[in-house]
Structure 1
Amino acid sequence: MGTEELQKPAGEHERLTTPFGFHTPAGEVIAGVDLAGQRAVVTGGASGIGAETAKVLAGAGAEVTLAVRNVDAGRRVAGDIAKEHPGARISVAHLDLADRASVAGFTGAWQGPLHILVNNAGIMALPTLRRSAEGWELQFATNYLGHFNLTLGLHRALASAEGARIVSVSSNAHRTSPIVFDDLHFERRPYEAWSAYGQSKTGNVLLAVEAGTRWAGDGITANALMPGGIRTNLQRHQMENLTPEVEEIFDNYPWKTVQEGAATSVLLAASPLLHGVTGRYFEDCNEAELTTDPDSEVGVRPHALDPHDAARLWDVATRLLGS
């Protein structure tokens, strides 16, 4: 079934489009936007599109916290941003999403409102099965559960901002796996790197769907995105295990620059075009179309926007983190 055959439920919103696209750099999507007085957190802000997202938000006047595992790298990025934008308000804080104590320390130390939360950090396609201290599959533990825990811990700060935005960085890899509720952590099925990564990225979308539903009364909106392919440290495991087939894919892939890759994150974080918009999935600075075409690398699969799965996963994650 292709996109054209999918029927939207009665009353479903029209797809949101913008003047921007694949090659739009991040700075352009919020040109003229003043973020003075707003505070933002960007996870994984020490490199790649996280660093670029932080730089653009800071350049527009936001007070930005880089939440990073490598504090020294974060400080280098903060210094670079300050050089490019003198007077920019940048701070660096340690955060390891796979460590519940680290997440608790970060959220417990946060004071005052939070206007923008960019859940950007992640690990991708680990070649062998790795687990967190709790025994959880590490990509799910980091990419989804860590960000869920962080978002939940910052709820009060987001609610007090009166119009906060949550940005959940997903991937077109969400198409490779829905949430496998019967075996989230590959305890019974064989481990497969891309299925594990895809499940975690589906979780990132469902986090935005459910947060947008549960917290609408707090004025919080939440949306997810596919940034596009950008050559960053995220691909390090593929580069370390490069086969001729993967090398051919990498050579022919439509890569974006870091500036282009950060654009959709920045759009969701700060563009007035997204005012009041919630629970959606974007790519190339536009809302993605629904598709069930197994060969399509664009669009969003219905399983990633399923409201029942979103609510169920929220409850499952709450129980896991409470255990």
Structure 2
Amino acid sequence: MTATTPVTTPFTARSTAAEVLDGIDLTGRRVIVTGGASGIGVETARALAGAGAEVTLAVRNLEAGTRTAEDITATTGNKQVLVAPLDLSDQASVAAFTAAWDGPLHILVNNAGVMASPMTRTPEGWELQFATNHLGHFALTTGLHRALAAAGDARVVSVSSSAHLRSPIVFDDIHFRERAYEPWSAYGQSKTANVLLAVEATRRWADDGITVNALMPGAIRTNLQRHVTQEDLDRLLAQNPDAASTVWKTPEQGAATSVLVATSPLLKGVGGRYFEDCNEAEPNRPGMRQGVAAYALDPEAAARLWQVSIETLAA
């Protein structure tokens, strides 16, 4: 497959994670799903466990994680559903998680996130959405590089959003120290970062057999929207006329593109791309909410963000 050939599959926006995984055997494969105790994370983990993988739910709430693991085991018959503590906004938690991981890792699903939260800073002074959605996952992914390389053909799944169309990385003021804070711009910037991670990690790690792709899961009503009021939704609809035609997906449909990126034979050796509705996305057209922004796939921005992330975490 050439670098310019878009990946197309038989699946659509209506496909479920179980349908995507039909006929795929993940026995012996080890998987981590961040945010695996809520929303599409649960159904992503359930589908992967149903295909035979050992799945670790990396979660902030261990009680919720344990309940979810028990439910997944009950519905799939797979007893290899594990739970481990991980708070992506806390770098000490991320470091503890990566230090505790032993052996190869075949699939890492960077699924957890926070959306449109009020202005909040971490103890380091970082804006919370960027700190959680990008810096936490960046530290996790790089911290697990050795385990991914040991797998020989590992995949990293970076769950982004069409909200990346709201903002590129504002390198001059990533953490809103000078500009006025706007929750959706902050969220959009963090989701652009998720795509750029896929671009640069694939460039750096393809020789290790590691590919990284990003995706838009679709519109799913989950706890991710806990900071979003009905007034917010009404305002967004007014700003984006085509948003009124949004078709809401079930969590099982929302998990389908994550699972496809994690497992499909059609993506073997393919990295640095952005998918939506189980197919590689087309370039975004002005005024539309579909497709991928050119700035999210820009290799120079991806390399710059990688370096900024390393320097930020080292500070």
Task: Report if TM-score (shorter chain) is over 0.5.
Answer: yes
- The answer to whether residue 290 in structure 2 is matched with residue 298 in structure 1 is yes
Assess, with a 3 A threshold, how the Cα gap between structure 1 residues 84 and 306 changes in structure 2: closer, same or farther: same
Q: Aligned equivalents of 1:132 and 1:241: distance in 2?
A: 27
Using the TM superposition, give the Cα deviation of residue 201 of structure 1 relative to its aligned residue in structure 2, in angstroms. 0.1
CA displacement 1:240-294 (0-9 Å, x = unmatched) = 7657545888875310000100000000111111111110000000000012x33
**Corresponding residue of 2:219:** 229
- Paired residue for 1:107? 98
Question: Does the alignment pair 1:177 with 2:167?
Answer: yes
Q: Where does structure 1 lack aligned partners over 5 or more consecutive residues?
A: 1-10
Question: CA 1:243 to 1:295, structure 2 compared with 1: closer, same or farther past 3 Å?
Answer: closer
The offset of 1:13, in angstroms, is: 1.5
Greater shift in the superposed pair: 275-284 or 235-244: 235-244
The two structures have a TM-score, normalised by structure 2, of: 0.96
Aligned partner of 2:177 in structure 1 is 187
> Alpha carbons of 1:244 and 1:143: their partners in 2 closer, same or farther (altered >3 Å)?
closer
Cα deviation code 1:42-64 (max 9, x no counterpart): 00000110010000000101000
Contact 1:29/1:267 (<8 A) preserved: yes
- Identical positions, percent: 63
Q: Return the offset for 1:12.
A: 4.3
- State yes or no: 1:282 paired with 2:272: no
RMSD: 1.5
Q: 1:243–1:306: structure 2 CA closer, same or farther, 3 Å change rule?
A: closer
Identify the residue that residue 238 of structure 1 maps to in structure 2. Answer: 228
**3-state SS of 1:290 partner:** coil
Counterpart residue number, 1:217: 207
**For the residues of structure 1 that align with 2:233 and 2:286, how far apart are their CA atoms?**
24
Q: More deviation in 252-261 or 52-61?
A: 252-261
Aligned to 1:7: none
d(CA) in 2 for partners of 1:96, 1:170:
18
Q: Which moved more, 1:216-225 or 1:82-91?
A: 82-91
For 1:178, what is the secondary structure of its paired residue?
A: coil
SS, match of residue 215 in structure 1: helix
Once residues 243 and 211 of structure 1 are traced to their aligned partners in structure 2, the CA distance between those partners, rounded to angstroms, is 34
Give the C-alpha shift of residue 306 in structure 1: 0.3
2:183 paired with 1:196: no
Is 1:315 the counterpart of 2:307? The answer is: yes
Partners of 1:121 and 1:39 in 2: CA distance: 18
Q: Does the CA contact (< 8 Å) of 2:202 and 2:272 recur in 1? A: yes
* Residue 270 of structure 1 pairs with residue 263 of structure 2: yes
Q: What's the CA shift for 1:86? A: 1.5
State whether residues 48 and 232 of structure 1, in contact with CA within 8 Å, keep that contact through their aligned partners in structure 2: yes
How many residues align? The count is: 311
In the alignment, does 2:50 pair up with 1:71? no
Secondary structure, counterpart of 2:228 in structure 1: helix
Contact 2:52 2:78 (8 Å CA) reproduced: no
Unaligned runs of 5+ residues in structure 2 are none
Task: Tell whether the 8 Å contact from 1:61 to 1:88 is kept in structure 2 after alignment.
Answer: no
- 1:114-193 counterparts in 2 under 5 A? 114-126=105-117, 128-193=118-183
User: Within 1, Cα distance between the matches of 2:77 and 2:101?
Assistant: 25
In the aligned structure 2, how far is the partner of 1:268 from the partner of 1:106?
A: 24
Query: 1:59 and 1:245 mapped to 2: Cα distance?
Result: 40
Taking the TM superposition and a 5 Å limit, the aligned residue runs for 1:56-67 are 56-67=47-58
Asked if the contact 1:59/1:88 (under 8 Å) is kept, the reply is: no
